[in-house]
Structure formats: C-alpha cells, structure tokens
Amino acid sequence: MARNMKSSTCTAPVNIAVIKYWGKRDEELILPTNSSLSVTLGQDQLRAKTTVAIDPSFTEDRMWLNGKEQSMKSARLRNVLREIRNKVRKRKADDETLSWKVHICSENNFPTAAGLASSAAGYACLVFTLSKLFHVDGDISSIARQGSGSACRSVYGGFVKWVMGTQKDGADSIAVQVAPASHWPELRTLILVVSDQKKHTSSTEGMQTTVNTSQLFPRRLLGMEEKMEQMEKSINEKDFHSFAELTMKDSNQLHSVCLDTYPPISYMKDVSHQIVRMVHCLNSICERNIVAYTFDAGPNACLYLLEKDVPRVLSLVTTFFPPKDNNMEKFIQGLPVDVLPPSQG
Ligand code: DP6
C-alpha cells in the first residue's frame, strides 16, 4: 500500500418504500414531487459494500461495480464527489486531500437493477464511505439524494421519511428518521424474487415519462401528504392493519399511474399479480391484514408482516410459488425468499 493511501470500507442496506417516491420536480438536483417513507432492511442480507481509497499517486477518479470498471462520466457520480469535496473545502480550503483522486470499489450481494433498490443502497453506501474518509459531518442524506433519490433514505436505519422540501436549491429535501427499528422489532420483510433480470425501463426514465404523460399522476400527488401523515401514525401506533392497507394501496396506485403513462409501463408480471391475489385471499380469511405487498420498479414482491405470522405466510408462499430450480442448498441459503428484520442503524 502506498505510504499516503487512506481507505475506508462501509456497508449500507436496501430500503423498501411503503409510500413511494415517483416523479421529480428538478431532475438535476433530484428533487421529488412528493414525500416518501420507507423501512430500511437489516444489514446482513440485501446490502451494498463499498471501499474508497484516496492516494496522491492516483491520476484519475475510477470506479468498479461488482468487479467491472464503470465510466466516471455519470453526472450523478460526479455530483456526489463534487458535493463531498465542497464540504471538505468549506471546512479547510487548502486540505491536501482535495486534489487526491478516488478509487471506488462497490459490490451488491443481490441482483443489480432488478427492482431491489440496488442504487439506493449503492449510493447511500458510497456517500457514507466518502463522508468517513473525508471526515464530513452533518446531514449527508442530501448528498446521497443527488446520487439516486431513494438512496437518501438508506442513510438512516428503521423507519425513514424523505421530506420533499420546498426550497429551490434542495437544502430542505432531506431524509429524517421517523422511528428506530427497535420501535417495532416484530416487523419482518419477505422478499419474493420473481425475476432477477435487469428491468426494461429504469425508475429514472419511467418516472419522468409518468410526470410528462400521465393524467392520473396529478391526482396521486393531491393525496400524498395525507397518506404520509396516516402512515406515520400507523407506524407510531404500531397499527399493522392500517400500515398494511396504506402500503398496498400506495403500491397499487404507483403501478396504476405507470399503466396510465404513455407508452405504458408495466413492471409487474403474472406471478406478481398472483402474489397480490394470495395476500388478499389470506387477509380476507383472517378478517384483518396480516401481510402487505409492495412492488418497486420491477416484478419482485416485498411482503411486510409480523414475526408471529412468518411461518403461516412462508408455508403459503412455498406451496404456491415453489422455487423454480429444485436446488435445496440455494433455497436454504436464502433465495428466493429472505426473512429480514429491519435495520438497527
Ligand atoms: C419505485 O431512487 O431509483 O423504488 O432518483 O431517478 O435514481 P432516481 O430513482 P430511484 O427511484 C425509486 C423508485 C421506487 C420508489 C421508492 O423507492 O420510493
């Protein structure tokens, strides 16, 4: 290792929104058209891991993702680096590390770009690692936001809201923890991997087409602040029935505005719709919501449920959706079904 080299390694978990972000009012600064709220998952399973090294002998900024070198042309990547360096400059204008180039090495332990919030964990992890390496204090969620909107929520553990903010420069568009994971430790997440293929329409592209073409989209925006308040209340009161209803309705509405987009976007597959049916069937037999589904920009389902109901739901899932290849080891290792407690961060 070179004498001056400094490096730092961190991990960041995925977050899955229960009130979803879909639409930007400023594409450059990544400012959303609505506030959103998510649960940050446990560190052990779906997570990004990033090492950043700085050294005076490095001649250019470089980045590798899952072992493959990436182009540094990405405006988002450069914006994030610029924001971190600006913070360092504010602290000490002649800090010697300002001129040092970075080498970034990042890996996800789950499929990238398959609607499993890989960019959220990835950018949260990158910004967090950079902040440790360059000793940047204070809120870093607004920097993570400039990498990928949903990344700002992975900066914190537990239940996290991204306040849309009103300022033009985005200074008040930040993530805030609503409650730590310890507030509701019985809550569990089951990820059902319907497909690990890369999605056909990225969230970035999809949401902008929705903003530009969907007639239902302005109607969705009208109800968002009320939904946020109701969701916060259901989390504070640990009211699973209403948490589940709000979660499922928001997911359904998001996918409706996607279908109302022109040309239409459909992220869910037949199996995704079968999962929706299974959940409603089970909830109706139980005469209350014991499980909720939510889908991001992909076909994979994220189920929220309470610990006591995991065996019941898991046995239904494995009966109706047996793993495609009967590789017992792979199944036991955790895919296609993972049980994840929320993050303690
Ligand atoms: C459906 O954060 O990936 O997962 O800001 O353009 O990078 P960009 O989009 P991204 O969108 C996430 C959309 C979502 C909903 C959510 O996580 O709130």
Amino acid identity at 46: L
Average pLDDT over every residue of 52-64 = 96
Distance 115 CA to ligand 1 centre (A): 9
Higher pLDDT, 195 or 105: 105
Question: Before 341, cis peptide (omega within 30)?
Answer: no
- Is 224 exposed, middle or buried, given 0-12, 13-18 or 19+ CB atoms closer than 10 A? buried
Please state, for a pLDDT cut of 70, what percent of the chain lies above it. 90
Confirm if 313 and 282 have CB atoms less than 8 A apart.
yes
Is ligand 1 within 6 A of the CB of residue 21?
Answer: yes
Is ligand 1 within 6 A of the CB of residue 36?
Answer: yes
Amino acid 196: pLDDT: 74
State which ligand 1 atom lies nearest to the alpha carbon of 202.
3
Global pTM reads 0.92
pLDDT tops 80 at residue 325: no
pLDDT tops 60 at residue 210: yes
Is ligand 1 within 6 A of the CB of residue 20?
Answer: yes
Amino acid 231: pLDDT: 98
DSSP string, 63-125: EEETTEEE-TT-HHHHHHHHHHHHHHHHH-TT-GGGG-EEEEEEEESS-TTSSS-HHHHHHHH
Whole-number average pLDDT of the chain:
90
Distance 58 CA to ligand 1 centre (A): 33
Q: Tell me the HSE value of 253 on the side-chain side, using a 13 A CA sphere.
A: 22
Amino acid 114: pLDDT: 53
**DSSP alpha helices (H): ranges in the chain?**
75-91, 118-133, 141-145, 203-213, 217-222, 224-236, 240-259, 270-286, 310-320, 328-333
- Sorting pLDDT into bands at 50, 70 and 90, what band is 108? confident
Distance 149 CA to ligand 1 centre (A): 6
- Kind of pairing between the strands at 187-192 and 101-108: unpaired
- Sorting pLDDT into bands at 50, 70 and 90, what band is 115? low
- The string of pLDDT tens digits covering residues 137-170 is 999 999 999 999 999 999 999 999 999 999 999 9
- The string of pLDDT tens digits covering residues 270-302 is 999 999 999 999 999 999 999 999 999 999 999
Please state, as a whole number, how many other Cβ atoms lie within 10 Å of the Cβ of residue 162: 28
Distance 17 CA to ligand 1 centre (A): 9
Is ligand 1 within 6 A of the CB of residue 149?
Answer: yes
Is ligand 1 within 6 A of the CB of residue 204?
Answer: yes
Query: Which residue, by CA, sits nearest to atom 3 of ligand 1?
Result: 203
- Kind of pairing between the strands at 62-65 and 101-108: parallel
Distance 151 CA to ligand 1 centre (A): 8
Which residue pairs, CB below 8 angstroms and at least 24 apart, start in 209-212? Answer: 209/261, 209/262, 209/263, 209/265, 210/22, 210/23, 210/257, 210/258, 210/260, 210/261, 210/265, 211/23, 211/24, 211/33
Of 189, 201, 197, 320, nearest to 261 by C-alpha is: 201
**Ligand 1 probe mutation, 15, 19, 20, 21, most atoms within 8 A of CB:** 21
State which ligand 1 atom lies nearest to the alpha carbon of 76.
7
Query: Which residue, by CA, sits nearest to atom 5 of ligand 1?
Result: 149
| Structure ipTM | 0.99
